Structure 1
């Protein structure tokens, strides 16, 4: 199998984490491209976990992934109930309830009555949560700028579009059903 950046790196070997920038990859054919994709995804997951992609500066690694995603969803879509939040994120309601609890406790999210059904509770980003989210977002934006400093705008846009497409395709795979093709 042809080698290509990080293809010779053992994903469990932490001694290669500071490798020099990769050379242009050799085009891959057939199953080699899928082998390379899964390997690069594993390398990415390891590096993302090690660095937590937590941004730069004072806000670096100051918010875990779950909190960031929950706050970001509430910011983008407005107040909503636990079930709607869970459905929008593709996770279980009990998981959202567990992840939201410390955000409510710390004052980043507040529980309020549903405007149309006073018996229902909705979650809403608090002003403190909004400020904290923007601080973390800014730090992470700066990290993305640094990491892609030598990329063109077109490369950044293409990478973002492909990563979005990849993440969307992953939503079509049900956990526990490894032979299931992605939903069309």
Structure 2
């Protein structure tokens, strides 16, 4: 079987329909529970940073300062969404807007020292939550779950990217 399924194929014919029903249900339950807890962590920090803010701050920390367009592209969302989501982070001092070093007219978004401190606080709380939720798992189970969840997220991202590329062509 090819690694990339033919999108015209009825996916219910691939494998056990009951297993696929269980998988889609468990993903839906996970999404709901993750949103309910925001997978925020433990203690006071738990619900104090929304998903969009966490992902934006995390991306700026991992990849360094960048413009809105580059940040949007790296996250797979449009520039207007990034602009809207970054505004409160700038207002609260977690992100700084600076001039691009090579083109003073361009704006670069950068994690502020306060933003890095806050991000580390949230990461620590989330790590603690993950440790608590998986405390009775063997290290190999944690690794396998992480690998499979990463693989699942990459597949979702690839599918979204493919849909974005084909959408404009379909409308022409």
Shorter-normalised TM-score: what interval? 0.7 to 0.9
Instruction: Confirm or deny that 1:63 pairs with 2:49.
Output: yes
Using structure 2 for the length normalisation, give the TM-score. 0.83
Matches of residues 1-184 of structure 1 in structure 2 within 5 Å?
30-174=16-160
**Residue ranges of structure 2 left out of the alignment (5+ in a row):** 1-14, 167-172
User: Shift of residue 174 of structure 1?
Assistant: 3.5
**Residue ranges of structure 1 left out of the alignment (5+ in a row):** 1-28
SS, match of residue 123 in structure 1: strand
Higher relative contact order, chain-length normalized (CA < 8 Å, sep 6+): 2
Please report the RMSD computed on the Cα atoms of aligned residues, expressed in angstroms.
1.7
Looking at structure 1, the residues matched to 68 and 81 of structure 2 have their Cα atoms a distance apart, in angstroms, of: 10
User: Shift of residue 59 of structure 1?
Assistant: 0.7
User: Shift of residue 45 of structure 1?
Assistant: 1.0
Looking at structure 2, the residues matched to 68 and 109 of structure 1 have their Cα atoms a distance apart, in angstroms, of: 12
Using structure 1 for the length normalisation, give the TM-score. 0.78
